[in-house]
Amino acid sequence: MNRLDQQIEFIKEIDKLKEVYRRSYLLSQTRKENSAEHSWHIALMAMLLSEYSNTEVNSHRVIEMLLVHDIIEIDAGDTYCYDETGYMDKDRREKQAADRIFNILPKEQAERLINLWREFEAAETPESKFANSVDRLMPLIHNFNTSGRSWKEHGITKKQVVGRTKKIAEGSETLWKYAEQSILKAVEEGVLKDDL
């Protein structure tokens, strides 16, 4: 297969991400969100909110990372962030998925995308810390604005939400402050169960 054919094969393969559904509902609540449209949404979010990153970031790399970060879900599925059993073998499942899917591409592009995905997962660089902040903030915004629908469906409590989202602070203190205030408000309004 020539280079362009390999690239087109990959582009066709990732069409499947449009059918990986997350736990979050659209704000209209007509259906759950899929991982492809979610990736678009947070890439744009990162583009607009990068001024709040704790350290200056290369916005281009943040956006590329976010466009790529969920592709492994085509094979590995979306592991719900509060699913402790699912998290036990998440790494293994996702590594296998990355190997298969990214290697459809020509070698150096496969490596580039695998590295972006690994950087996101490790969350050690300023760019990946900020990318993770945005990725964790988005489901909060969906829950705040749908009366906590997916939280309620899965019996999620304040302790779990804070445990999951306090890492937002590592990428952005400002966005964490916003998240924290919104979580307190959700508890006050009875949208999120208080167990802390």
**In the complex, which residues of this chain contact a copy of itself (CB under 8 A)?**
4, 7-8, 10-12, 14-19, 26-28, 30, 33-34, 36-37, 39-41, 43-45, 47-49, 52, 59-60, 63-64, 67-68, 105, 109, 141, 145, 174, 178
Residue 48 or 88 with smaller CB distance to a copy of itself: 48
Distance CA 17, CA 75 (A): 9
Q: How far is the CB of 176 from a copy of itself (least distance, A)?
A: 12
**Residue 54 vs 109, nearer CB to a copy of itself:** 109
Task: Tell how many helices (H) and how many strands (E) occur in the chain.
Answer: 12, 2
Closest to 43 measured CA to CA, from 130, 125, 162, 113: 130
Pick the closer one to a copy of itself by CB: 7 or 157: 7
Minimum separation from the CB atom of position 144 to a copy of itself (A): 9
- Closest contact distance (angstroms) between CB of 7 and a copy of itself is 5
- CB distance 42 to 138 below 8 Å: yes
Query: With respect to a copy of itself, which residue has the nearer C-beta, 47 or 162?
Result: 47
Residue 27 or 196: the one with the smaller Cβ distance to a copy of itself is 27
SS3 string of 33-45?
EEHHHHHHHHHHH
* CB 61, min distance to a copy of itself, A: 9
Q: Which of these, 180, 184, 171, 186, lies nearest to 45 by C-alpha position?
A: 171
Q: Determine phi and psi for 32, rounding to 5 degrees.
A: -80, 160
Q: How far is the CB of 101 from a copy of itself (least distance, A)?
A: 12
Residue 185: count other Cβ atoms within 10 Å of its Cβ. Answer: 12
Which CB atom, from 86 or from 106, has the smaller least distance to a copy of itself?
A: 106
The single residue listed with the structure tokens 């445990």 is 163
CB of 67 to a copy of itself, least distance (A): 5
Answer whether 59's CB lies under 8 Å from 50's CB. Answer: yes
